[in-house]
Structures are given as C-alpha cells and as structure tokens.
C-alpha cells in the first residue's frame, strides 16, 4: 500500500486516512521515497506536537521538517566533530539580522532530495508545494543586511569553510505588515507562535550576561565589573547545509532568560506579582523585537542591551570553544587565538565585541593591555554597510556609562591611546583629531562613534561594492586610510545562486542547464557566460519566454490571492521591492507612475492602444516611526485604488502594493519580474543585493550609477541597462546649487505633484510629503535625495523601456544577456575572497 499514490482533494480526512496506510518506521537517513514516507509518518506519531488524530497540512509540514532535520543533524554532528579533530582556524560571523526565509525548500534542495520528498508526500495525497507553503519565514531580519548574512552562511557551508553565524532569536521580529485604508499597520510576527522545527535548543550552552553595576579596583590594580543585573544567554542552533556537500554549519541564535532563583517567591506570595518576576520580564524584552523604537532612554538602553547581549554571549562561546580545543595541551597561548579565530562584524551593531573581547582577556584571563589589544585587533574585522550619517551608530556616553561601565573605561583607554599615537606621529592630522577620535566629547551631546571604534580596532575594514569602498576610502574614512592604507578593502556583495535561481525558478534553471550542457553553474556561476553565444538563438528565446511566462502566471496568481487585484501576465511586470526609505526613492517611482497615468488619461483610445501596458508592483516595510516612508506606502496604495478601478486606463496600467515583503514573497516576485527599479540617489546605496537577484533571473534594471548597479552594468553590458540620473560625483554640487536657489524644476515633475494636490487620489493630505521635495533649504525640505533633478531623465529612461519591450526579440536577448553577465555576483565568490583576504581560513571538507 505504501507505494500507491492517494488521490486527494486536500481535505484533512483524506490526508489522515492516507497517513494511516503509511507504516510509521524511523528511517532518519532515508533517501528512497518509501522510507522517507515512513519516517514522516514516524515523526507524526512519535514526535507529536498535535492531537493524535490530526494529520492535516500543518501537521504534515512539521513531520516533514523533522524528517529532513534527522538527516541534517547527522551531517551537522559529523561537521562539528571533524572541525574539532582538524582544529582549523574558524570564522564567526556576528550579525543583528539573518533573513533566512523558508528552510524546507532550501534544505531538501541543497541535500538534493527534493524529488524523493515530493514522491514521498504524494503517498499521503500531498504535493510538496502545499507543504512548503505551511512554513512561516523566520522573522530574524529586515532587509539586505540580514539577507546578505544568510546568503553568506549558505556559501560558507557550500565552500566547506569552518564557520559559524551568531545572531539573536527574535520572538516577534520587526513586524508583520498589513495594508489598510490608513496605509501600513504593524503587528507582531507569529513565526514562533507554535515552534520552529529547525532549531535545536542547547541546554548546556548557557552564559551569564551582566548589565549596569560598577567596576571594583583590586589592590593589585586589576579591575572587575560587578553588581547590576545578570541574565542568561541560552543557545539555539539552526543547521545550515551546504549544496551537495556533507558540510552542515550552524547559525547559533541566543535567547535571553532569567533563572528560577531570580523569581522572588516571597514577593509573589505577598501579592507583588510583577515585582516578583521583574528580571524574567526584562530578560524577555531583550529578544522580543528586532530594532525596538529608541526615541526614549529606555528604548536606547534596550537596543544597547541587545547589541551587548549578542556580542558577550558569542565571544564567551568562542573563547570556550578555543579552550575546549586546547584541553590537555598545557596553558593557553593567547597569541595563538587570532590564528584559530576570525570574528567578522556585520556593520556597527556588533561593535561592542571589541571592548568585550578586551574585557574578557584583561579582566577574566589576566592578559596585559598590549597583549590583549594585539589579540583583539588581529581577530576582529569590520564590514561597513552605509555612508548615511544616521546609520553610522553613535551611542550616548551617559547611557553607555550607565549600562556598561567597564566597557566605557576600555573604550576611553582605546581612544586615549589612539589620540596619543596621532599627536606623537601624525602632526598633519591634529586638526582632524576631533573627527577621527572614538569619543565625541561635545558637552551638549557626548557620544561614542561606533564606526570609528571599529576602524581603529580592526585589522581589516571593507565596503560592499567598488563604488561604496571608493567613497569610504576617499571621503568617510580618508584620514584613517592615510594612517593604515592596507587596512581597507572592497568585497562586492553576492547572492546565493541556489535560493535565488536554482530553487526559486526551476523552469529557467532547467533551460540554463540544458543549453550549458551542465548544472555545474549552480556552484560556479561564471559558467553563465556560456549563454552569451546563444542570446540570438530563436529556440533559446522561445524557451526563455515560456519559463518567464510561467513565473509571471504564478506571480499573478499570488497577487490575486494576497491583494484581490487581478493582473495581466501580458503586461510588462515592473517591480521595486526593498525597505521603504527616501534615499531608495520609491517616491520617484510612484511620481513617475502618476505622470504616466495622467498622460494615459489625456490620450484617446487609439493612442492608448499604442502604449506598452504595464503592471507596477511596489513592496517593502516602512519603519514604524518613519513618517515620510509611511506616507509613501499610503500614496502607492491610494494611486492603486484609483488607477486599478479606472476603466479607461486599467488595461494599460495597474499599480499594486505587495504587502508584508519578505524572503518568500521575493522568491515569488523576482522570477516573475521583467523590469526592476534600483533608483537610489547615487552614492547612497552601499551595494544593494536585490539588484543582483533580479539581474540573475533575466530581469532588466532601470537604475542610477549607485552601489553594485555600477558593476552589474559593466558585467551585463551597458546597452542592457536603463541608466538615468546624477552620478555620485555630481550630487554634492547639485545639492549646493539647490541651496543657492539655482534648481529649475522640470514642468513634468511639477505636473505630477500638482495632480496629487488636485485630490484625484483622495482627501489625504500629502503636502508634508511633497514639501520635502520643495524649497531650497531647511530640515525635511530642499529635496535632499534629488527626486526633482532626476525626474526628467527617469521619465526618458522609462520611455526607452517601453520601446525595448515592444520588440520581443530584442527584450529576450537583453534578458538572456542579463543572466549571462551575473556570474560575478555569486556570494560564493564574495565569501572565497573574505576567506582568503581577510579571515585567512581554508576549506575543511567533511570526508
């Protein structure tokens, strides 16, 4: 009976009766469909999380995930033991965000068992797709920073590198976005409402984390941080399998908890219930939410607690592992630590790793300052992700002294020694000292500059695209470059081709494999250049068109399901999905759409028929307290409400806001896209990685010369990229001209703004948003992001898009050449460069 397929209409009763026919036998390493089905059935019965008679889609998902996890745990244990035995140098990647996406499709894809699992699930009358749909995205990140970290883990595992990720286990994530008549509303994420089948709690991995307190000075001059409140960091491990390799590494997530002894039974029985569990409540807050609001002092303290909690738990763990490997080899030789450990800080959020490693070495291990400093600076490297001043973290000195008094002593000493070095050896930089010091002692607002601390303390500093790294070296960190010219590097970001092409677009992947006569491109993405010779081939173009069409139909179905809006796969699918931010210029996009709508309204029916029909999709989350970003979300939705119900225009233009953008939504949108917008003000986007995902999937880009757009355009050919806008070099001059009243707005730009103000999109007051584009100076005025300046060239570039799309053969050739030129943007290439040029680690393959 186990071999028979059960026909099902998807009802729970059918699935339960089908499950009853599959023997429940444990086969943790099963590869054949029959054994896999038995293992799934075994987990449904003997790893129960639900009532015994229930086996519906949700239960089937959890049982399937646990069946896959069996295999992962074996590989994981083998990897850990192999690393322990070989004792290679290892990298530890610290990040406040990891945007993992769904784990099931990725795991069975990397293990190369998706067909076997699809066959096994059919024995229950289930399709693999409906099971994978049950999984909720892990809410551990927000945007590109977190997704990059997850792509990097996939590449580390695939390249068999000895490495770990460290992050926090956020219970409620950033937020779940819902769109109402009022615009965006935020709700807590519910990914842990039941449980995650992928994580393994390590009850033996527990570290104390102290906050507040004071510093005691011992008679011998040594110092000790004591008192305050102490919470515990508990480890949860998530397995990260490499692609078609045994190596399975770990993403270790920390959860904060208090102990039973911290519960005051006397107070509780006295009726003071909240006071009795005060520390438990405070501990729960630490990992409740990603980026909690920091407008209040309590909010700032909580954010700082999160950052320190991640750094302290991770470093205590790294040191424990270092000691574990040295067991029985005599006293620790701390000079050896940087030859066994590389710590990478993903942006400034984990900066406190620097003073915390110094504290652990000096106060706990008894090292002298110079030896501890040598170990710390040889161990830690820093990746910068932004040139935006507000994103370069600066923490209030009084808040830091209150929460982390010992760390402030250490930071003050680092600053003092750096200052002494400059004044004694670099007289030419003395006038710059106030800018390059770590401490800004401005009496009105004394702060610690985290980026400066990272640059002074790390052995390597890198940007994430060539343009971005050049800006860092020539502008932001120019003085440091003159001190340490060899410290600064570029590591252009990349994306994993497994999740972002092989698994999310199987039809296109099969065509690529067929024409290249190999599937080796999945781990050697440069092989895609082999498609160039076939770009004009009519057979390839026909196959390419049908694969893209299938993805567009799937996307249209999804849009109907989540928004109720019906979209036509015959139209050009034009997509912009990313965090909503003024520098990313979703406002430029929607103003262009408004202008397009107005022109369509002015045409007669014969003229409209000659236009290129378009469906514009915009998605992304606006930070809860970022008012202008939320106004942009509201405007997109208001424009959609009018355009999509206008019978004269809605077969030529539709506007859809895609709610709750996350990795799984991206896996639907990106394969179905034909044009994507990467239109940030030049010089403001460090790299961008969604641009790489779209380009890899044969989607053409309209964009500025910003971030990785510059390199994408070089790789795919400038004739296959729709370029517009000011360059990074021109931006400062244009801002100065604006301040001096020299800017003359284009009439089309004025027309679009006037159309909004006419009330055609409803009664909401968009004046505060539009005023940010007006005036020449002043806070929130003067069009800092140059929307008005770039608007005319943007409209002209969009006209070129329309023209190219109307020639199907030309568009398909451009699409093929886009994929063919995307080989450089594999995260495998990026990580191989980090491994060789920053971390100095080598492959450690499990035999």
Q: Catalytic site residues? A: 385, 578-579, 584, 689, 693
As beta bridge partners, residue 546 has: none
Considering only CA atoms, which of 539, 815, 470 is closest in space to residue 673?
A: 815
| Rounded Cα–Cα distance for residues 572 and 266 (Å) | 68
Rounded CA separation 61/44 (Å): 10
Which CA distances in Å does 375 have to 335, 358, 588, 728? 6, 9, 48, 38
Q: Report the C-alpha gap between 111 and 271 in whole angstroms.
A: 55
What Rg, from alpha-carbon coordinates, does the chain have?
28
Strands 229-241 and 439-440, by their bridges, are: unpaired
Beta strand pairing call for 248-257 and 163-168: parallel
Query: 114-122 and 57-86 are packed helices; what angle lies between their axes, rounded to 10 degrees?
Result: 150
Do 636 and 655 form a contact (C-beta atoms < 8 A)?
Answer: yes
Nearest CA-CA partner of 703 in 679, 674, 727 = 679
Beta bridge partners of 226: 214
Cα angle 158-159-164, degrees, rounded to a multiple of 5: 80
Look up residue 788 and give its two tokens.
């008005």
Distance (Å, whole) CA 143 – CA 122 = 36
Please list, in sequence order, all residues whose beta carbon lies within 8 angstroms of the beta carbon of residue 626, skipping any fewer than 6 positions away: 580, 581
Distance CA 251, CA 99 (A): 12
Q: Say if strands 380-383 and 447-449 run parallel, antiparallel, or are unpaired.
A: unpaired
Alpha helices per DSSP H over 287-351? 297-326, 337-340
Cβ neighbours of residue 241 under 8 Å, at least 6 residues apart? 72, 75, 106, 107, 110, 111, 157, 247, 248
Contacts 24+ apart (CB under 8 A), 34-37: 34/2, 34/3, 34/120, 34/123, 36/67, 36/113, 36/116, 36/117, 36/119, 36/120, 37/2, 37/120, 37/121, 37/123, 37/124
- Bridge-based pairing of strands 614-619 and 447-449 is unpaired
Quick one: which of 146, 140, 163 has its CA closest to 93? 163
What distances in angstroms separate CA 730 from CA 270, 706, 777, one per listed residue?
A: 69, 12, 18
User: b/e for 721-744, b at 16 or more Cβ within 10 A?
Assistant: bbebbbebebbeebbeebeeeebe
CA atoms within 13 A on the CB side of 409: 15
Cβ-contact 175, 621 below 8 angstroms: yes
The sign of the dihedral angle between the CA atoms of 513, 519, 521, 522 is: positive
H helices of 759-844, in order, are 767-771, 787-805, 808-820, 827-834
The length of the chain is 847
Helix, strand, coil content of the chain in percent (nearest 5): 50, 15, 35
What are the distances in angstroms from CA 422 to CA 373, 447, 526, 600? 17, 20, 45, 63
CA distance linking residue 786 with residue 832, whole number of Å: 37
425 by Cβ neighbours in 10 Å (0-12 / 13-18 / 19+) ranks as exposed
């Amino acid at each position: 009976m186990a071999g028979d397929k059960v026909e099902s209409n998807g009802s729970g009763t059918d699935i339960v009766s089908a499950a009853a026919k599959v023997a429940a036998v444990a086969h943790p390493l099963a590869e054949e469909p029959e054994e896999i089905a038995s293992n799934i059935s075994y987990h449904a019965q003997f790893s129960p999380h639900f009532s015994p008679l229930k086996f519906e889609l949700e239960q089937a998902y959890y049982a399937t995930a646990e069946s896959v996890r069996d295999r992962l745990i074996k590989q994981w244990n083998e990897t850990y033991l192999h690393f322990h035995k070989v004792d290679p140098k290892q990298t530890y990647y610290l990040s406040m965000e990891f945007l993992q996406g769904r784990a099931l499709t990725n795991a069975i894809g990397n293990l190369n068992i998706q067909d076997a699992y699809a066959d096994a699930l059919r024995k229950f009358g289930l399709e693999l797709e409906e099971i994978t749909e049950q999984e909720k995205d892990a809410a551990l990140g927000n945007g590109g920073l977190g997704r990059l970290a997850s792509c990097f883990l996939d590449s580390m595992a695939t390249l068999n590198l000895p490495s770990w990720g460290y992050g926090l286990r956020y219970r409620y994530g950033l937020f779940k976005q819902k769109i109402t008549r009022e615009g965006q509303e935020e709700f807590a994420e519910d990914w842990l409402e039941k449980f995650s089948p992928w994580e393994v709690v390590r009850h033996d991995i527990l570290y104390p984390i102290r906050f507040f307190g004071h510093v005691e000075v011992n008679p011998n001059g040594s110092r000790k941080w004591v008192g305050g409140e102490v919470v515990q960091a508990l480890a949860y491990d998530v397995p990260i399998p490499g692609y078609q390799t045994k190596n399975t590494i770990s993403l270790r997530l920390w959860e904060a908890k208090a102990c039973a002894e911290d519960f005051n039974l006397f107070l509780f029985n006295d009726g003071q219930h909240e006071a009795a569990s005060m520390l438990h409540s405070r501990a729960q807050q630490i990992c409740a939410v990603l980026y909690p609001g920091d407008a209040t002092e309590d909010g700032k303290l909580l954010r700082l607690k999160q950052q320190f909690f991640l750094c302290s738990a991770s470093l205590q763990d790294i040191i424990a592992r270092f000691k574990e490997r040295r067991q029985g080899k005599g006293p620790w030789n701390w000079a050896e630590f940087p030859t066994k450990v590389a710590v990478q800080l993903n942006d400034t959020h984990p900066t406190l790793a620097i003073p915390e490693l110094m504290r652990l070495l000096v106060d706990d291990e008894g090292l002298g300052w110079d030896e501890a400093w040598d170990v710390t600076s040889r161990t830690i490297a820093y990746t910068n992700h932004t040139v935006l001043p507000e994103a370069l973290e600066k923490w209030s000195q009084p808040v830091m002294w209150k929460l982390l008094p010992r760390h402030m002593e250490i930071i003050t000493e680092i600053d003092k020694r750096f200052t002494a070095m400059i004044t004694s050896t670099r007289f030419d930089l003395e006038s710059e000292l106030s800018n390059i010091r770590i401490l800004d002692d401005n009496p009105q607002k004394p702060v610690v500059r985290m980026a400066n601390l990272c640059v002074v303390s790390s052995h390597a500093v890198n940007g994430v695209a060539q343009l971005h790294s050049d800006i860092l070296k020539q502008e932001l960190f120019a003085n440091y470059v003159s001190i340490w010219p060899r410290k600064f590097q570029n590591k252009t970001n990349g994306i994993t081709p497994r999740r972002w092409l092989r698994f999310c677009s199987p039809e296109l992947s099969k065509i690529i494999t067929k024409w290249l006569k190999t599937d080796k491109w999945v781990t050697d993405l440069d092989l895609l250049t082999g498609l160039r010779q076939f770009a004009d081939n009519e057979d390839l173009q026909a196959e390419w068109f049908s694969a893209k069409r299938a993805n567009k139909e799937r996307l249209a179905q999804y849009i109907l399901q989540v928004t109720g809006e019906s979209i036509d796969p015959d139209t050009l699918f034009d997509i912009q999905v990313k965090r909503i931010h003024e520098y990313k210029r979703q406002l430029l996009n929607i103003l262009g759409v408004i202008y397009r709508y107005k022109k369509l309204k002015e045409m007669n029916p014969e003229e409209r028929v000659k236009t290129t029909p378009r469906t514009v999709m915009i998605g992304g989350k606006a930070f809860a307290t970022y008012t202008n970003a939320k106004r942009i979300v509201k405007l997109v939705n208001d424009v959609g409400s009018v355009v999509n119900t206008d019978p004269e225009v809605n077969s030529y233009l539709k506007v859809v806001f895609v709610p709750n953008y996350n990795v799984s939504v991206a896996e639907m949108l990106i394969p179905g896209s034909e044009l994507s917008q990467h239109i940030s003000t030049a010089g403001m986007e460090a790299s961008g990685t969604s641009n790489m995902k779209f380009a890899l999937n044969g989607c053409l880009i309209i964009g500025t010369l910003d971030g990785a757009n510059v390199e994408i355009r070089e790789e795919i050919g400038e004739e296959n990229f729709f370029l517009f806008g000011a360059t990074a070099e021109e931006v400062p001059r244009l801002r100065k001209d604006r301040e001096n009243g020299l800017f003359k707005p284009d009439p089309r730009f004025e027309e679009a703004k006037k159309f909004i103000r006419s009330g055609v999109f409803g009664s909401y007051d968009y004046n505060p948003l539009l005023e940010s584009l007006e005036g020449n100076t002043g806070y929130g005025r003067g069009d800092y992001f140059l929307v008005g300046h770039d608007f005319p060239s943007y409209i002209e570039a969009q006209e070129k898009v329309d023209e190219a799309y109307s020639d199907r053969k030309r568009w398909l050739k451009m699409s093929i050449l886009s994929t063919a030129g995307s080989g450089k943007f594999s995260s495998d290439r990026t990580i191989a460069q980090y491994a060789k040029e920053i971390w100095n680690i080598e492959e450690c393959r499990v035999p």
